[in-house]
């Protein structure tokens, strides 16, 4: 059954008001009265949510339509609040698509409630939930890179690089330094220190799909950068070298020299260019609590190396996933992109590559669209695809190249988040986001396992993802935000997902927790993180499972662990900040997209220069690995292109 427009709007408006109804306030404080007393409708969040739905991914729009039909059949708008709450839970229990629809609407309503800011950069709920938000004040001096004004027409270059993130920036720099003419196309905007106000609602413009990309089944939230500098501008600066066991595996899969000094050299180069160090790493209260929990459970930890040059600023560092205001993050903006521009590369932003052009079986350039809809073509005999683990395979699929493995083998490092509430304030948004790691559980399930790392607390995510029992409990619980310590298990995936093209021609992500080893690692991560919180003195522990799996002090803790063990697989919710492997390098054109040096098996002149080229997941935060592989690919590309460019030019002009 599908519903007419009026019913659709009526039902979805009622869903918003069920998630965020007007409630009696527990005190007469005007801010508290406002927090509880105004519901979604009075705040205009029903209209803003409905207005945003057409911009969502195809599968999410469809799921929301199915939810509207399901609820309309059950006379949802006319039901009491209590009954509507029950019906929402019933829908979410029916199947994963309806659950995805509820999840998406919940995210949007709570993003508006707790995330939207007024002209002064604050939100009226923040004093009530104890969140200070990022401080106003001067940002570091701007370091804007010169970007070429978007212009319609045809460019000519030796090398066209698609994407300016961890991988693309390096290949662009090395190619330009080798004397090749380089054009970089970046879909995202150009932003720097002068632009960052660190407010999450504003920072979403720097994330792929505004930070709201869900796998088909809604079980995996995918986060990636989409801005000049890609993920390096908004990431948490954890720098870890590729583990030797992974390098050996990849060498055996056809990546020559990976296990030896040749690759050490690339790792060292990246390490130095990014100024990676441990001297400026400082533990915040969140990480100190994690270290307490680790130690109490008999686990070790290490101070994390980071690509940051300054010392700590507790008032600003916790908001660094919305851009570094201090200018100390050594993103590609300050390193390799600067090198590329200094060597003559041209950078065009807000320019989406649509297709790789192929002529006579070889790369011929890129067809792209500017933000205003104008078309642009870069003719180039060498094309570097570096649009990230999600968008690179989508570009190849749209271009009809890359062979049968394009989009397959997607690795995501599923991250499992467990939160503890403590008696004393933690303020997990205060201080450096990630500063310590434990490797002790990286092989807890055969060769796979997870890293233990802390993460910052962002009210939008916690409001959107914390289990929803009913509206009052949800709103009450958000008032505990300052007391939450938040840690995650970043798992080394054994199974894989897939990138495909949806009916809108956009990248979709298929992923399920259906690999037995991944399932065991996921459970183990929840159990161990819960044990650590318990040992560190938490008075309450909860997860991001769909069901409310929560332990409170005084309750049976072993019983809680058993409840985690009994949770159905569908109940798990993961996040991925690391998307890799979807255009993997390897020896076989059947199971890999590029050869062992990064050049496509089926179209010469097209190279993969980003995370999608990784043969599998490295099992550690991947930026350094991606960059070192990009250094290696760039070297091979420059060598090959120097001879190929002349042939490409004559082909283009003949």
Ligand X SMILES: Cc1cc2nc3c(=O)[nH]c(=O)nc-3n(C[C@H](O)[C@H](O)[C@H](O)COP(=O)(O)OP(=O)(O)OC[C@H]3O[C@@H](n4cnc5c(N)ncnc54)[C@H](O)[C@@H]3O)c2cc1C
Contact residues: ligand X, CB under 6 A: 162-168, 185-188, 223-227, 230-232, 234-238, 321, 352-353, 386-389, 391, 395, 434, 577-578, 610-611, 621-623, 626
Nearer to ligand X, 451 or 603 (CB): 451
Nearer to ligand X, 105 or 613 (CB): 613
Instruction: Work out how close the CB of 262 gets to ligand X at its nearest, in angstroms, rounded to a whole number.
Output: 21
The answer for residues whose C-beta is within 8 angstroms of residue 5's C-beta and 6 or more apart is none
Nearer to ligand X, 232 or 599 (CB): 232
Residue 53 and residue 109 in contact, taking contact as beta carbons nearer than 8 Å: no
Instruction: Work out how close the CB of 164 gets to ligand X at its nearest, in angstroms, rounded to a whole number.
Output: 6
Nearer to ligand X, 14 or 199 (CB): 199
Instruction: Work out how close the CB of 413 gets to ligand X at its nearest, in angstroms, rounded to a whole number.
Output: 9
CA-closest candidate to residue 649, choices 154, 157, 162, 155: 157
Task: Give the separation between CA 211 and CA 136, rounded to whole angstroms.
Answer: 23
H helices present in 479-597, as ranges: 516-536, 557-566
Nearest residue to ligand X on Cβ basis: 165
Instruction: Work out how close the CB of 212 gets to ligand X at its nearest, in angstroms, rounded to a whole number.
Output: 13
Instruction: Work out how close the CB of 16 gets to ligand X at its nearest, in angstroms, rounded to a whole number.
Output: 27
Region for residue 257 given its phi and psi (left: phi exceeds 0; alpha: psi -120 to 50; beta: otherwise): left
Nearer to ligand X, 112 or 622 (CB): 622
Task: Give the separation between CA 88 and CA 147, rounded to whole angstroms.
Answer: 48
Instruction: Work out how close the CB of 124 gets to ligand X at its nearest, in angstroms, rounded to a whole number.
Output: 27
Length of the chain: 654
Instruction: Work out how close the CB of 259 gets to ligand X at its nearest, in angstroms, rounded to a whole number.
Output: 21
Surface-to-core class of residue 537, CB atoms within 10 Å of its CB (0-12 exposed, 13-18 middle, 19+ buried)? middle
Instruction: Work out how close the CB of 167 gets to ligand X at its nearest, in angstroms, rounded to a whole number.
Output: 3
Tokens 């270290």: give the residue.
291
Residue 117, CB half-sphere, CA atoms under 13 Å: how many? 19
Nearer to ligand X, 294 or 322 (CB): 322
Instruction: Work out how close the CB of 647 gets to ligand X at its nearest, in angstroms, rounded to a whole number.
Output: 26
Three-state DSSP at 33 gives: helix
Instruction: Work out how close the CB of 163 gets to ligand X at its nearest, in angstroms, rounded to a whole number.
Output: 3
Nearer to ligand X, 455 or 541 (CB): 455
**Chain centroid, CA 581 distance in Å:** 15
The answer for residues whose C-beta is within 8 angstroms of residue 339's C-beta and 6 or more apart is 173, 176, 177
Nearer to ligand X, 215 or 236 (CB): 236
Backbone angles phi and psi of 244, in degrees to 5: -60, -35
Nearer to ligand X, 236 or 592 (CB): 236
Task: Give the separation between CA 560 and CA 418, rounded to whole angstroms.
Answer: 13
Instruction: Work out how close the CB of 281 gets to ligand X at its nearest, in angstroms, rounded to a whole number.
Output: 12
Nearer to ligand X, 353 or 364 (CB): 353
Instruction: Work out how close the CB of 632 gets to ligand X at its nearest, in angstroms, rounded to a whole number.
Output: 14
H helix and E strand count, the chain: 20, 21
Nearer to ligand X, 433 or 478 (CB): 433
Nearer to ligand X, 507 or 538 (CB): 507
Instruction: Work out how close the CB of 399 gets to ligand X at its nearest, in angstroms, rounded to a whole number.
Output: 11
Instruction: Work out how close the CB of 188 gets to ligand X at its nearest, in angstroms, rounded to a whole number.
Output: 4
Instruction: Work out how close the CB of 630 gets to ligand X at its nearest, in angstroms, rounded to a whole number.
Output: 7
Strands 220-222 and 213-214: antiparallel
Nearer to ligand X, 188 or 648 (CB): 188
The answer for residues whose C-beta is within 8 angstroms of residue 637's C-beta and 6 or more apart is 159, 171, 174, 175, 382, 384, 597, 598, 599, 607, 609
Nearer to ligand X, 91 or 227 (CB): 227
Region for residue 64 given its phi and psi (left: phi exceeds 0; alpha: psi -120 to 50; beta: otherwise): alpha
CA-closest candidate to residue 232, choices 279, 168, 181, 185: 168
Nearer to ligand X, 231 or 464 (CB): 231
- Tokens representing 468 are 């929803």
Nearer to ligand X, 38 or 578 (CB): 578
Q: Burial code of 284-313, b = ≥16 C-beta within 10 A, e = fewer?
A: bbbbbbbbbbbeebebebeebbbbbbeebb
The answer for residues whose C-beta is within 8 angstroms of residue 140's C-beta and 6 or more apart is 193, 194, 325, 326, 327
Strand partners, 504: none
Tokens 């050299």: give the residue.
265
CA-closest candidate to residue 622, choices 227, 165, 164, 163: 165
Instruction: Work out how close the CB of 622 gets to ligand X at its nearest, in angstroms, rounded to a whole number.
Output: 5
- DSSP per residue, 129-155: HT---S--SPPPPP-PPP-PPP-SEEE
The answer for residues whose C-beta is within 8 angstroms of residue 227's C-beta and 6 or more apart is 186, 188, 189, 190, 191, 205, 206, 233, 234
Residue 366 CB coordination number (10 Å): 29
């Amino acid at each position: 059954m599908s519903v007419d427009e009026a019913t659709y709007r009526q039902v979805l408006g009622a869903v918003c008001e069920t998630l965020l109804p007007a409630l009696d306030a527990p005190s007469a404080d005007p801010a508290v009265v406002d927090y509880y007393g105004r519901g979604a409708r009075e705040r205009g969040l029903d209209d803003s949510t409905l207005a945003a739905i057409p911009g969502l991914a195809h599968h999410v729009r469809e799921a929301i339509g199915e939810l509207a039909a399901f609820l309309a059949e059950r006379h949802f708008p006319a039901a009491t609040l209590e009954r509507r709450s029950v019906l929402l839970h019933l829908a979410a229990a029916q199947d994963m698509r309806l659950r995805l629809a509820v999840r998406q609407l919940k995210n949007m309503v709570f993003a508006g409630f707790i995330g939207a800011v007024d002209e002064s950069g604050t939100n009226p709920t923040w004093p009530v939930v104890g969140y200070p938000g990022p401080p106003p004040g001067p940002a570091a001096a701007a370091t804007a890179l010169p970007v070429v004004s978007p212009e319609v027409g045809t460019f000519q270059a030796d090398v066209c690089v698609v994407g300016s993130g961890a991988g693309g920036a390096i290949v662009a720099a090395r190619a330009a330094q080798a004397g090749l003419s380089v054009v970089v196309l970046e879909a995202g905007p150009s932003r720097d220190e002068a632009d960052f106000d660190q407010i999450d609602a504003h920072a979403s413009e720097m994330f792929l799909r505004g930070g709201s990309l869900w796998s088909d089944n809604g079980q995996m939230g995918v986060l990636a950068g989409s801005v000049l500098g890609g993920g390096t501008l908004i990431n948490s600066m954890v720098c870890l070298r590729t583990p030797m066991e992974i390098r050996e595996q990849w060498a055996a899969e056809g990546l020559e020299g990976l296990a030896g000094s040749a690759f050490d050299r690339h790792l060292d180069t990246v390490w130095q260019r990014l100024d990676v160090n441990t001297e400026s790493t400082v533990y915040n209260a969140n990480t100190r609590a994690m270290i307490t929990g680790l130690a109490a459970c008999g686990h070790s930890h290490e101070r994390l190396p980071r690509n940051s040059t300054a010392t700590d600023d507790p008032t600003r560092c916790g908001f660094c996933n919305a851009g570094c205001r201090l200018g100390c993050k050594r993103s590609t903006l300050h390193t390799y992109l600067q090198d590329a521009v200094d060597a003559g590369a041209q950078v065009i932003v807000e320019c989406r590559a649509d297709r790789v052009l192929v002529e006579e079986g070889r790369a011929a350039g890129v067809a792209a669209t500017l933000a205003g809809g104008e078309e642009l073509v870069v003719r180039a005999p060498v094309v570097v695809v570096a649009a990230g683990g999600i968008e690179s395979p989508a570009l190849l699929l749209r271009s009809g190249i890359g062979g049968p493995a394009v989009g397959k083998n997607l690795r995501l490092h599923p991250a499992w988040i467990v939160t503890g509430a403590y008696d004393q304030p933690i303020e997990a948004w205060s201080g450096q986001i990630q500063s310590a790691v434990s490797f002790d559980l990286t092989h807890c399930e055969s060769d796979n396992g997870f890293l233990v790392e802390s993460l910052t607390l962002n009210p939008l995510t916690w409001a959107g993802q914390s289990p929803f029992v009913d509206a009052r409990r949800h709103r009450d619980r958000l008032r505990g935000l300052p007391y939450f310590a938040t840690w995650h298990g970043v798992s080394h995936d054994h199974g894989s997902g897939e990138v495909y093209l949806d009916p809108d021609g956009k990248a979709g992500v298929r992923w399920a927790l259906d690999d037995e080893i991944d399932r065991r690692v996921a459970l183990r991560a929840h159990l161990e993180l819960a044990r650590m919180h318990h040992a560190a003195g938490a008075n309450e522990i909860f997860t991001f499972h769909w069901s409310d799996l929560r332990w409170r002090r005084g309750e049976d803790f072993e019983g809680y662990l058993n409840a985690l063990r009994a949770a159905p697989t569908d109940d798990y919710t993961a996040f991925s900040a690391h998307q890799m492997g979807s255009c993997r390098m390897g020896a076989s054109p059947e199971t890999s997209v590029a050869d062992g040096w990064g050049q496509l098996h089926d179209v010469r002149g097209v190279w993969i220069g980003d995370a999608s080229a990784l043969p599998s997941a490295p099992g550690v935060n991947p930026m350094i690995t991606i960059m070192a592989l990009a250094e290696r690919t760039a070297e091979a590309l420059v060598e090959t292109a120097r001879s190929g460019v002349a042939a490409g030019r004559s082909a283009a002009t003949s």
